[in-house]
């Protein structure tokens, strides 16, 4: 009896090409992560996000023969998810600034990270800070919002982000820095958070 | 649910050969675009490589202006378009996105320079230009116009084809605008091992002395390695009647 749960992603891909049923193990492995990622970058309802997720998995299945082991499977599926989610947003004409649909855990993670990078005062009320950080992040340009989500919420390293967004690693590093700079700028400009110099 | 949908819609993975074919096509398109860039550069060299810069400077009323006068902008524009396309093609290859655009553009320019130079020195650029001129009439017209820009007798430059030679004292030439000239070469300096010969393209620097007369101070072969296509279409018209040689004081001809 083959224990598919212990197989690597690449092994499961190879097995799926011979037996469709094995694809279920890949779906189970990634559906929660990808659904959360879709919700983070699109801010759509659960129902819409699930529809996108379904399209993503169908696309992954159809393109399995294009999976190149020079890339990690995780980066590859995230790339497909990213493109599919953005295509959906373009069709729905939803590219304007959207409020970031994150749970409190997400916002707290962001705060922890940004607190270290932007000198957000620690004594601010947590709830109030969460509200303000959510507002600031929603005001970031889509590229910067996306990079912060990948870096700090999805916890991807620069190589993975480079593979997902198909940008050079140097560009990814620059985008992360600029995203943080824009965050700081918006925070100060809108008096949302006082950042001591 | 996803598996159910895959079964219901009979979705199957796209066969591997289609992805391989796509990547091969992309690679071929990339190589072709680099080759076109190299050819464009070869044609640029063809235009500016064989020309006499003294003539260019005189015709353009200055070396800098002359240089910009002669530049083949059409090929620079083509090179720019091809570089842009090849950069876009490279960025969609499997690993192309990992490199910054400017690195690939610099590499493409370097490849165009090296391969283009090889094509130029091998004569391939000249061959391609002749073929283009034969098959694309507007391109032939554009080439003609470029050569005609260097015919500026009032500025002291002339270029055309030799139609008769008179004892290395005079030439008759028909310029690129089909005007005939009698060119006094008796005191001219011969540049680049020039040999006056009927049917040869020639350039001259000097002074216009009359409606169809020119005194040459310097004379040189015109694009000796790669004559422009315009020469193929030029008919050698009958020469102008030569003016009579002045008689000596005793009434005899100078050669007697």
Give DSSP secondary structure letters for A12-63: HHHHHTT-GGGHHHHHHHHHHHHHHHHHHHH---HHHHHHHHHHHHHHHHHT
The mean per-residue pLDDT over the stretch B227-242 comes to 61
- In Å, what is the CA distance from A46 to each residue of A4, A33, A49, A101, B8? 29, 13, 5, 11, 24
Task: Give mean pLDDT, residues A43-58.
Answer: 92
Comparing B240 with B19, which gets the higher pLDDT? Answer: B19
Q: Is A162 on the interface with B (CB under 8 A)?
A: yes
pLDDT in tens, A142-193: 889 899 889 988 989 999 999 999 999 999 999 999 998 888 888 888 776 6
* pLDDT for the residue numbered A98: 46
Min Cα distance A197 → chain B (Å) is: 34
User: Considering just the CA atoms, what is the radius of gyration of chain A in Å?
Assistant: 18
Q: pLDDT band for position B183 (50/70/90)?
A: very high
Express each pLDDT in B48-102 by its tens digit: 887 888 888 888 888 888 888 888 899 999 999 999 999 999 999 989 999 998 9
Mean pLDDT value across residues B196-208:
89
> Which ranges constitute the DSSP H helices of B188-239?
230-233
Q: Which ranges constitute the DSSP H helices of B92-155?
A: 101-121, 124-135, 137-148
Are B98 and A54 inside 8 Å of each other by CB? no
State pLDDT tens for residues A103-120: 666 666 666 666 666 665
Contact A58 B7 (CB under 8 A): no
Return the pLDDT at A6.
Answer: 86
Instruction: Provide the ipTM.
Output: 0.79
CA B219 – CA B224 distance, rounded (Å): 13
Task: Tell me: pLDDT of B132 over 50.
Answer: yes
CB contact under 8 A, A62 and B14: yes
For the whole prediction, is pTM greater than 0.90?
A: no
Alpha-carbon distance of A62 to A68, in angstroms, equals: 14
Residues of B with CB under 8 A from a CB of A: 1-3, 5-7, 11-16, 18-19, 91, 94-95, 97-100
Residue A99 pLDDT > 50, yes or no? Answer: no
Residue B87 has a pLDDT of: 92
Q: A127, A156, A141: which is closest to A95 by C-alpha?
A: A141
Q: Which of A76, A82, A84 is nearest to A26 (CA)?
A: A76
DSSP string, A116-165: HHH---TTS-HHHHHHHHHHHHHHS-HHHHHHHIIIIIS---HHHHHHHH
CB contact under 8 Å between B94 and A70, yes or no, is yes
Residue B239 has a pLDDT of: 54
CB contact under 8 A, B6 and A24: no
Which is higher by pLDDT, B98 or A100?
A: B98
Mean pLDDT of chain A: 83
């Amino acid at each position: 009896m083959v224990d598919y749960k212990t197989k690597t992603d690449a092994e499961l891909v190879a097995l799926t090409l011979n037996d469709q049923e094995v694809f279920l193990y890949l779906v189970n492995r990634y559906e929660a992560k990808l659904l959360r990622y879709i919700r983070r970058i699109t801010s759509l309802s659960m129902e819409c996000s699930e529809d996108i997720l379904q399209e993503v998995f169908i696309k992954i299945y159809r393109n399995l023969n294009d999976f190149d082991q020079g890339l990690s499977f995780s980066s590859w599926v995230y790339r497909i998810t990213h493109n599919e989610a953005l295509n959906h947003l373009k069709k729905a004409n939803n590219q304007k600034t959207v409020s970031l649909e994150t749970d409190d855990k997400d916002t707290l993670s962001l705060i922890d990270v940004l607190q270290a990078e932007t000198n957000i005062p620690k004594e601010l009320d947590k709830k109030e800070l969460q509200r303000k950080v959510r507002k600031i992040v929603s005001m970031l340009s889509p590229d910067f919002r996306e990079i912060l989500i990948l870096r700090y919420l999805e916890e991807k390293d620069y190589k993975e982000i480079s593979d997902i967004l198909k940008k050079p690693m140097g560009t990814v590093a620059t985008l992360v820095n600029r995203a943080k700079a824009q965050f700081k700028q918006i925070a100060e400009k809108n008096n949302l958070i006082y950042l001591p110099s | 649910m996803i598996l159910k949908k895959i079964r219901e819609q009979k979705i199957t993975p796209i066969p591997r050969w289609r992805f391989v074919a796509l990547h091969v096509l992309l690679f071929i398109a990339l190589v072709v675009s680099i080759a076109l860039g190299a050819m464009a550069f070869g044609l640029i060299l063809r235009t500016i490589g064989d020309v006499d810069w003294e003539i260019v400077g005189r015709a353009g009323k200055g070396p800098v202006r002359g240089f910009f006068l002669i530049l083949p902008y059409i090929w620079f524009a083509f090179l720019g378009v091809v570089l842009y396309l090849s950069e876009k093609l490279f960025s969609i290859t499997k690993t192309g996105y990992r490199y910054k655009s400017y690195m690939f553009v610099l590499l493409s320019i370097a490849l165009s320079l090296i391969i283009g130079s090889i094509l130029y020195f091998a004569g391939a650029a000249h061959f391609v230009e002749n073929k283009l001129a034969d098959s694309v009439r507007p391109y032939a017209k554009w080439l003609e116009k470029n050569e005609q820009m260097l015919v500026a007798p009032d500025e002291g430059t002339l270029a055309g084809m030799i139609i008769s030679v008179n004892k290395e004292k005079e030439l008759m030439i028909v310029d690129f605008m089909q005007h005939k000239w009698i060119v006094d070469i008796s005191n001219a300096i011969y540049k680049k091992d020039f040999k006056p010969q009927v049917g040869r393209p020639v350039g001259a620097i000097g002074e216009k002395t009359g409606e169809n007369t020119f005194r040459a101070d310097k004379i040189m072969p015109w694009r000796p390695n790669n004559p422009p296509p315009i020469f193929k279409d030029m008919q050698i018209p009958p020469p102008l009647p030569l003016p009579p040689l002045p008689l000596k004081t005793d009434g005899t001809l100078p050669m007697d």
